[in-house]
Amino acid sequence: MAETQALDIGSKLKAIRGEKRISLRTLAKLSGLSVNTLSLIERNITSPTVNTLYSISRALAVKINYFFDEERIEEAIFTKKELRKQVEAKDKGMKFESLGTGLIQQGLEAYLLTATKGTKSGSKGISHLGDELIFCLQGKLQFEVKKEKYVLEEGDSLLFKGSLPQQWENVGNGDSTILLVRGMEK
């Protein structure tokens, strides 16, 4: 089985907080997360969910790719499956894999999200700038966008404005995997 590279989100979070001179307490207020949660993430004791990562990136005014990017900017990037950057939160039942970052003036983010049966994105909806495309590769997920519910099964897609409140849940009988593509704000 191929090994994926684990990300050091904690160090990146600590570095950007230091660079922006934002305390954990201030970041907690800006992100809506607890100081304890942020501290655990920063010390790499726990992995953030997708929603948590978006809340942190919005509060810090950085793109979510900041947590996946390496120190390179190129015109074409090829990533072997076993070298994908990933955040795996086994205790939360999900794995989030980056499908590529580091392009010059990159205009989109692409991820694979795999969730175990019953896994939810969180209790409150998130929103972000840009458009979002969801393509169900396997399983069955229910997306709620602006209080409207959509059940996606293998081969189904959903396109919506990222500024609309959204959340999801794996309502299938096993693991579900989606391709998630987000347009990035410029």
pLDDT value, residue 12:
85
Q: In angstroms, rounded to a whole number, what is the distance separating the alpha carbons of residues 181 and 128?
A: 13
pLDDT tens for each residue of 55-113: 898 888 887 777 776 555 677 888 888 888 887 776 678 888 889 877 766 778 899 99
Largest interatomic CA distance in the chain:
45
Domains of the chain, each with CATH number or no CATH: 5-67 (1.10.260.40), 107-183 (2.60.120.10)
pLDDT tens for each residue of 15-49: 888 888 889 999 999 999 999 999 999 998 888 88
At 38, list the tokens: 């942020």
pLDDT beyond 50 at 2: no
CB neighbours (10 Å) of residue 101?
22
pLDDT value, residue 75:
77
